[in-house]
Amino acid sequence: MSSEVFAARLPASLAAELHGSVAVLKLNRPDKRNALDDETIIGIEQFFTSLPDCIGAVLLAGEGEHFSAGLDLSELTERDVTQGIAHSKLWHRAFDTIQFGKVPVVAVLHGAVVGGGLELAAATHVRVVERSAYYALPEGSRGIYVGGGGSVRLPRLIGVARMMDMMLTGRTYSAEEGQAIGLTTYLVEPGKGFAKGLELAQRIAGNAPLTNFAVMHALPRIAEMDPGSGYAVEALMAAIAQADPDAKARLKDFLEKRAPKTTRN
Ligand code: 1HE
């Protein structure tokens, strides 16, 4: 499959490339600091819902000096309450196709990762973060509120108290500080994020699809369950995964010394 097949369906604010079984999606509106307008959010939803079966992971990155300046503030001025709700629900739908979509998503972050840009990053599964990145939730100072799932996802990553502080006081976190609080999964030097992200996405794409499914869809839900329900669902998921022919083949490879050992990398 060629990159053009993706590109044909995307608005100009998004660009897609194929790297083997990894699909790369770039926010491509650097002149507006990758501000997220409706067209871009709809494009993100379409991209993630129409991923072909040959794709095993997605890498999400931003063109230019910043990952994303968040919501396109120029589109906000005319919305009434009903339209505001519909807008937020559009973001929820689009970002759900990332978090609970077909394949894991690795984000490469640099520069501003703010407001809706941080909400977008929080919907991904692994965040590779260049030292230039910083996290902020400037909604408070703009007189608005998060609307892209931030109230649901961010407290689970950093806690309610930290999110309150960011929104009330305008506190920002550096890429390095983000590592301590759960936003930065991998900290890398400037310019190194794409290569590291691609390496990780390729590795993820090489996992058994059923394991990736379990990690994306079962793990976060089990973590929200009472322990008894969690153990029951875990046992079922474990039994289903191990029964898959892919798992049997991988175990055989290890036992017959064809698979790599688990060493520290
Ligand atoms: C924008 C946006 C935007 C830039 N919407 N147009 N987000 C914010 O409150 C962050 C707003 N942006 C900034 O603070 C700065 O732009 C940055 C720190 C990210 C980058 O600064 P800089 O100096 O590199 O760029 P700039 O000169 O500020 O912006 C370049 C252009 O992008 C300029 O337009 P131009 O026509 O004058 O060239 C900016 O107006 C435009 N631009 N950011 C629209 N966000 C689902 S709810 C989520 C709620 C939120 O996300 S709230 C957070 C909004």
Per the residue annotation, which of 17, 65, 119, 189 is the catalytic one?
Answer: 119
Atom of ligand 1 nearest to the CA of 148: 46
> Ligand 1, atom 41: nearest CA belongs to which residue?
32
For residue 139, indicate whether it is catalytic. Answer: yes
Going by pLDDT thresholds of 50, 70 and 90, the confidence category of residue 107 is: very high
Gap from CA of 23 to ligand 1 centroid (Å): 27
* Separation between Cα atoms, residue 87 and residue 82, nearest integer Å: 9
CB of 111 closer than 8 Å to CB of 66: yes
The atom of ligand 1 lying closest to the CA of 116 is 51
Q: Ligand 1, from 27, 28, 33: best to mutate by most atoms within 8 Å of Cβ?
A: 33
* pLDDT single digits (tens) 156-168: 999 999 999 999 9
For the cut 70, the answer to whether the pLDDT of residue 5 exceeds it is no
Q: What is the pLDDT of residue 265?
A: 77
Gap between the Cα atoms of 230 and 235, Å rounded: 8
Which protein residue's CA is at the shortest distance from atom 21 of ligand 1? 33
- Which of 2-16, 113-127, 172-186 has the weakest average pLDDT? 2-16
Strands 22-27 and 14-19: antiparallel
Residues with CB under 6 A from ligand 1: 32-33, 35, 65-66, 69-74, 91, 112, 114-116, 138-139, 142, 144, 146-148
Which percentage of the chain shows pLDDT scores above 70?
Answer: 97
Mean pLDDT, to the nearest integer, of 69-91?
A: 93
Task: Tell me the per-residue pLDDT of 14-61, one tens digit each, with 9 for 90 and over.
Answer: 999 999 999 999 999 999 999 999 999 999 999 999 999 999 999 999
pLDDT at 9 over 90: no
- Local confidence band at 76 (pLDDT 50, 70, 90 cut-offs): confident
Closest C-alpha to ligand 1, atom 3: 72
pTM tops 0.85, yes or no: yes
Phi/psi zone of residue 33: left (φ > 0), alpha (ψ -120 to 50 degrees), beta? left
Q: Where are the alpha helices (DSSP H) in 79-192?
A: 81-99, 116-122, 139-142, 150-158, 160-169, 175-181
Q: Rounded to whole angstroms, how far apart are CA atoms 198 and 187?
A: 14
Contact 77, 102 (CB under 8 A): no
Q: What is the Cα–Cα distance from 248 to 150, expressed in whole angstroms?
A: 39
Average pLDDT, the chain: 95
Q: In this prediction, what percent of the chain has a pLDDT beyond 90?
A: 93
The answer to whether the beta carbons of residues 62 and 130 sit under 8 Å apart is no
Q: Is the per-residue pLDDT at 174 higher than 80?
A: yes
Each residue's pLDDT tens digit, 242-259:
999 999 999 999 999 999
Q: What is the mean pLDDT of residues 164-177?
A: 97
Q: Which of 65, 78, 139, 199 is catalytic?
A: 139
| Separation of CA 66 and ligand 1 centre (Å) | 10
Q: What is the pLDDT at residue 146?
A: 96
